[in-house]
């Protein structure tokens, strides 16, 4: 969530070392299944015309499957 205006820009979430076809998810909110020890990277998708610097709040949670 954008700290400036509360918007929810698209979020690209990917796992490191996973099969490439299934490692990237785009959405906001989004969810993925991972095993313990998996590295997850989250990137905020911004328009090229957006201000150079913005702050975002990233909230995560875990639940057993």
Cβ neighbours of 62 (radius 10 Å): 6
Does any domain span residue 54? no
Does any domain span residue 32? yes
What is the domain range of residue 16?
A: 11-44
Rounded to whole angstroms, how far apart are CA atoms 13 and 1?
Answer: 14
pLDDT computed for residue 57 by the predictor: 94
Does any domain span residue 17? yes
- Taking only the tens of pLDDT, the chain with its 65 residues reads 999 889 899 999 988 876 656 678 899 998 888 888 889 999 999 888 877 788 999 998 888 87
Peptide bond into 24 cis (omega under 30): no
Does any domain span residue 38? yes
**Does the predicted model carry a pTM greater than 0.95?**
no
* Domain total in the chain: 1
pLDDT computed for residue 12 by the predictor: 92
pLDDT computed for residue 1 by the predictor: 93
């Amino acid at each position: 969530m954008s700290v400036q205006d509360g918007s929810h820009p698209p979020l690209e979430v990917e796992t490191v070392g996973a099969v490439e076809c299934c490692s990237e998810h785009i959405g906001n909110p989004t969810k993925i299944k991972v095993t313990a020890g998996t590295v997850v990277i989250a990137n905020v998708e911004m328009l090229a015309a957006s201000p150079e610097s913005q702050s975002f709040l990233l909230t995560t949670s875990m639940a057993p499957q």
